[in-house]
Structure 1
Amino acid sequence: MEILVNIDVPKLAPAIDFYTAALPLSLGRIIDGDVAELTGAAATLYLLRKPAGSRPVKSLGDGRQYTRHWTPVHLDFVVDNVEEAAKRAIGAGAVQESECVQWKGSKCISFSDPFGHGFCLIEFAGDSYSD
């Protein structure tokens, strides 16, 4: 099974600039002017241009907002060196939201991107979380 990651953004160009500067991702292609395919991770990321205020489903009255928001589903990017990756993300425009937390053989720092989405950078001591 393949997993695709879709990230709604208000405009493609600044989102492409952020994600290719903050992470080791490359622009694969732009589809119909509304979708940017980013490669270089274990899953392909798609940036989807969706205007602020547009609604993903009719039951959501307020629609999309690109201020900081919280959702129980977020992205974790596994990196070799969390401190170096944090510098890169901040340099690209990410906002650091936590100190480095060590837990179960990992180091993790939480961020938000310029579009309100939260994400984490995680460095593992081994292959994954440990006891």
Structure 2
Amino acid sequence: MDIRICIDVDDLERGIAFYTQGLGLRLGRRLDSDWAELLGAGSAIDLLSNPAGSAPLGQDKPQRRDYARHWTPVHLDFVVTDIAEATRKLVSLGAVLERPIGDRRWGRMASLADPFGHGIDLLEFKGRGYDELLQPPRGEGL
């Protein structure tokens, strides 16, 4: 099974610039005038241009798109090799640093909001990455 990640933006060109220049993704295809495919991550990311105030679930639903900072239980983590540089680039492109770079047992993490209000985290792994939370590798600690 494949997974595609879809991110609504209110300005497609700004979205393309943010994710390509800030994270090193590349423009794959423009699938329509309001739809761009970004490649270079583990899954394709589709940027979908939709105006603020438009109805994402049909006109009879009360929800409307809002590109102010919002929280949802789903966010994207991007694994980078230089978290300080990636954070600097993203902030220069309009991201808001919400939680500064902090150390974890498995590496380092920074929390940001993209220019469209979506939460994203940057991760820089050390050693075995998340496996640092598990038992030592076989042969160690014996």
Aligned to 2:140: none
TM-score by length of 1: 0.92
Count of matched residue pairs:
131
State the alpha-carbon separation in 2 of the partners of residues 77 and 127 from structure 1.
Answer: 17
Letter in 2 for 1:95: V
Unaligned runs of 5+ in 2: 134-142
Aligned to 1:93: 94
Task: Give 1:48 shift.
Answer: 0.5
- Aligned sequence identity (%): 47
Aligned to 2:42: 42
Letter in 2 for 1:51: P
| SS of structure 2 residue aligned to 1:86 | helix
CA deviation string 1:72-100 (max 9, x = no partner): 10000001111111111112221111121
Change (3 A) 1:109 1:29: same
Letter in 1 for 2:43: A
- Is residue 8–residue 49 contact of structure 2 (8 Å, CA) maintained in 1? yes
1:72-111 counterparts in 2 under 5 A?
A: 72-111=73-112
| SS of structure 1 residue aligned to 2:13 | helix
State the alpha-carbon separation in 2 of the partners of residues 97 and 27 from structure 1.
Answer: 27
Task: Give 1:104 shift.
Answer: 3.0
CA deviation string 1:11-56 (max 9, x = no partner): 2111111111111111111112111001111111100111211222
Instruction: Flag the structure with more relative contact order, 1 or 2, with Cα contacts below 8 A and sequence separation at least 6.
Output: 1
| SS of structure 1 residue aligned to 2:14 | helix
Unaligned runs of 5+ in 1: none
| SS of structure 2 residue aligned to 1:97 | strand
Aligned to 1:27: 27
More deviation, 51-60/103-112: 51-60
| SS of structure 2 residue aligned to 1:90 | helix
Q: Moved runs in structure 1, 4+ residues, more than 3 A?
A: none
- Is residue 83–residue 123 contact of structure 2 (8 Å, CA) maintained in 1? yes
| SS of structure 2 residue aligned to 1:102 | strand
Tell me the C-alpha RMSD between the 2 structures: 1.5
1:108-123 counterparts in 2 under 5 A?
A: 108-123=109-124
